Amino acid sequence: MIVLDISNIDINGDILLIDKPLRWTSFDVVNKLKYLIRQTFNLKKIKIGHAGTLDPLATGVLIVCVGKCTKQIPEIQTLQKKYTGTFTIGATTASFDLEKPIENTLPYEHISLQDIQNARLSLTGEIEQIPPVFSALKINGQKAYTKARQDEDVQMKARKVNVYQFDTSRIELPEVDFEITCSKGTYIRSIARDFGQILGCGAYLSSLRRVAVGDYTIDNAFDFSPFIDINRTHKGKKKDFEL
């Protein structure tokens, strides 16, 4: 993986593939890049935004557009995504991942390989999915996770998404490794929840990596780790083209 050289960025228009670090938000990465670009090129302002949020506990392809390439963000956001990761069955969490602690545990020893394959197949194709309450989707102008963290009753509406491919590889219960290719707006955390519900023993997302967005793949992403030890956030207006 190539380490990003800030001085090589075309500030007039560039598309950067960043391998987002674990526990960084997508805005952390955008804000960090904004700061580094402004410092390197002695700029007061720079248009910059990401083309599709990755959860803090996910790693992988985060597409960041600079300058005139920010106009391509809406188009890039429509591209299909490819993920790899792990579901852990036999337990649930409020966030459907490890952001929140395990709430319930259920026996899973009776689950067979055929049960897992049946669950996989039932979640392939066009499906109706209820997004997680701990998400950035807005309800009455406020992000759902803000309401959820204030213990408000949040009702998320089901919506149709497409899961083009859902394969399993390593199955060592309670862990099930997967590879999923899906449409814009698909929440892998919700697939984890639904996977567990179909199996009848619960499940949550224990790891996630986005390996492709359309033809943009992780093999061509920049290593962002050299910038991790630099202060993560810098004061600035979120509306300064964070999308």
227 burial via Cβ count (<10 Å: 0-12, 13-18, 19+):
buried
Paired sense of beta strands 81-89 and 48-50, if any: unpaired
How far apart CA 4 and CA 225 sit, in angstroms, is 9
Residue 55 is among the residues annotated as catalytic for this protein: yes
How far apart CA 146 and CA 154 sit, in angstroms, is 10
How far apart CA 234 and CA 211 sit, in angstroms, is 28
User: 93, 196 in Cβ contact below 8 A?
Assistant: no
Find the helix or strand (DSSP H, E) in which 165 lies. strand 159-172
How far apart CA 110 and CA 116 sit, in angstroms, is 11
Active-site residue (options: 14, 19, 28, 55): 55
Paired sense of beta strands 175-182 and 159-172, if any: antiparallel
Q: Which residues are catalytic?
A: 55
